[in-house]
Amino acid sequence: MTTLAASIATVGSPRFPAIIGRIITMIEDTLGRDAGSESLPDVVSARDLITVPGVTDGRDWLRQALGRLEIVASLPRGWDSEGGPPPNAQLVTAAADLLRDLQGDDLPLPFVCPIAGGGLQLEWSSGGKEVELELVDERTIGFLRAEAAPSGRIIESGEYPISDINKSRELLDWLAEA
């Protein structure tokens, strides 16, 4: 097991399923070396690659988020062990545009994850709250807003146009509310 995959295996949380370790291993195998090595200065380290709920990184979250997006976009066919395609290039562009539109906001670093069938999802967590934005197509975002509770209830879900940056901001501002 390579460096990043080993780091993920030690997290020991249901939030980080085994598929994430396999994705990291595939990335490292594709690169031909550990993704956290000094020989790849533009690749984020294991510590930066995993979003820790409630921890923000105000240093340069946009650069790191775009780096994560680039890594996920370069996944090969079969990244999910079931022949799944890499994320759709149009969705990757739409996600990058969305992240750039949000760059002035003080947000936690998002977790960027591929979805079976070529989809893409951005996830933010803070203070027991989560917001997930799934790029359904290059025009539509599906969202889920949830708060940690014994019932695990979903507070809100739905869809909106990707061009509605105010809706994205409203959902993400909710993370900061006490």
pLDDT, tens digit, 9 for 90 and up, residues 1-18: 333 444 344 443 444 455
2: CB partners within 8 A, 6+ apart: 24, 25, 28, 29, 34, 35
Measured CA distances, 22 to 4, 8, 17, 74 (Å): 10, 10, 9, 14
Indicate if the pLDDT at residue 40 is higher than 70.
no
pLDDT, tens digit, 9 for 90 and up, residues 79-118: 888 888 999 999 999 999 999 988 876 788 899 999 988 9
Task: Give percent of the chain above pLDDT 90.
Answer: 38
Indicate if the pLDDT at residue 50 is higher than 60.
no
Q: Which residues sit opposite 160 in a β-bridge?
A: 141
Domain boundaries, the chain: 1-50, 57-176
Task: Choose among 141, 137, 129: nearest CA to 101.
Answer: 141
DSSP category for residue 56: B
